[in-house]
Structure 1
Amino acid sequence: METNKVKQIHSFGQSIWLDFIDREIMSSGKLQKLIDADGVRGVTSNPAIFEKAITSSSDYDADIRKLSDSDKTNEEIFFGLAIEDIKNATDLFKGIYDESKGVDGYVSLEVSPFLALDAEGTAKQAEELWKAVDRKNVMIKIPGTKPGLQAIRQSIGKGININVTLLFGLPRYEEVAEAYIAGLEDHLAAGHNIGHISSVASFFLSRIDVLVDPLLDEKSLGDLKGEVAIASAKKAYEIYKRVFSGPRWEALAAKGAKVQRLLWASTSSKNPAFKDTKYVEALIGADTVDTVPLETIEAFRDHGIAANVLEDGLDKATETLDRLKAAGIDLDKLTQQLEDEGIDKFNKPFEKLLNAIEDQKTKV
């Protein structure tokens, strides 16, 4: 019997998490099948995923009506629904969490996207959601904005598992890794164990190419189309290996600290000219996570190629970014634009979701 292609990825030290959640995938047994057959080892969610889940099915209607009898706001009603789903998913992944000794088996729940630029509000809600889910294998998602850095350090300092989301640029990624390490040091200094704390830094891929590729022809760099995001990710992995080594890190590792793994996000190909498994195939390597939409998992299961390639072509990755800079393309400015747009891309579905809850409340 042929080895499952998705499962093969795990043999190279990378964990595949599903970038999707709804009640039907859990109640039907589909999620359990993905765990068993494809070796899926975690789940990520975001406001857009929950908006689709809640507005495209009737699975949540009765709970919305029940929760609307209270004095809860629409946002509180949403988090009530989401927390129930997250709890059920964490229970499905508990075996993987236990077997991997806390490396995998995580399910992510994001703070309100309205808080993306509010450090104090983000940290407060992260703690509230952490306590409400009350599972060791939940991760609270905090966007890696400039204000988010403070919230990340504060949350790690309280022993909360954090998935840092919306990362596009290399300087910001390094700041996020620093915030994680500082948070571990804070937690340790307060007299706590740190071995249970887990975190990932979610580096977004295909959106980089969607923004950069149209600029390349203007600069006679057409040969770099579809390559900038992958080059950035490879350079991020270089930063990861540097940051999580040396005396400062080794002192924490001696106390049981886990590295903050890089997680590849936005891994579906947005350009139909690219292979639909392009971003998954290009970045398979040790001590990383790839969160993948269901359709991309199905595509990889059918025709993906699993190989340990993450550290291949590092010279080419450096050259790619150098050529952009020489041509006057400011990648730092573009990745800041992507961060700003990313916040908006989560705010809009969240607003739509809250409006849908309001509409549902009025139905008998």
Structure 2
Amino acid sequence: MDTKTNFLDRNEFNFDPAPEAIEAIKSFDVKKLCFYTRIFNQGKKSIFSEYLSATYGIDEAQVLIGYGGEDILKQVVHFFLTEDDRKTILIPNFSWWYYKSIAEEVNGRSIMYPIYEEGDTFTYAIDELRQTIERENPKIVLLASPNNPTGNMLTPEELKTICSFVPASSVVLVDESYASFVSHDNSYVKALIEAFPNIIITRTLSKFYGLPGLRLGFGFMSRELERFTRYSTKYLGYNRLSEEVGIAVLKAESYYRKIAESMNADRRLYEQEIGLLPGFKVYRSNANFILIKYPPALRAGLQEALGTADYKIKFMDEPELDSHVRITIGRPEQNRTVIDIIKKVAAS
């Protein structure tokens, strides 16, 4: 692996895995790799889904597992956009390009609904979303909370409000890849899937738990969407090593919470130091990244200076965001270096 380059462009994890994760790998019984899991004989998908069921207090039948959160998102979009003649998915603007891409794979029709910039953050226009749903009758309404790359989130109350006006024949798909950075209180997840018959919430171990290379995601769905489980579940089970590592990192919540607190402190450094530079604007974020608007004339200089220092950040190319960068919050020394480079280029 390239250990020279500082990758702050894909919201990855620049810290070490939790000791519990490392121990799970070291102590793994490799003989298990020679056999399929037998847990399906108990009517369950995986020891990982069983653990999630107990942790969240949600029936195991309503737990989803995938090859990363990306895999579950793709399965949901592909399944429901081909279920009948309704091919429309609503996607927030200023969001992950992948949403539209996976809809296009099944000839889906993507309609963007607005997220508006308000001061130093972005917000969902809930009333406009309601109107768009009434007008378009979409098969899927996709929400991202926190949203990538803007970093804004929906509160549990706002999620409940949106779900209340989405028709039961439509699916509410909530991408919560970054939700653990917001709070460790997951009680609203169970409340939502019990209150509404058409909601799927996806999460991942790639962001807060820092294991994108493990490729393990999970989710929860309303009981009424059982037909999707039959499509999604793998008869022969899942990666047995990943299952055990996944359980280990979920048990190491306090380790990752301390790292998240360090990220919060460094996010404030960006706000305090870069936010004061002429032509720059730093947006509040509820995730492990930060979005910054910069003077377009500095783009080439920033790219050159960061490249010389072996740092990669994400220069946005999307319309209306093409004068913005998204920077992964890394280790304190990495964040300090990026801040100093930006300040030096801005002063030149």
Q: Which band: TM-score by shorter chain?
A: 0.3 to 0.5
Task: Give the structure-2-normalised TM-score.
Answer: 0.36
Task: Give the structure-1-normalised TM-score.
Answer: 0.35
Give the helix-richer structure, 1 or 2. Answer: 1
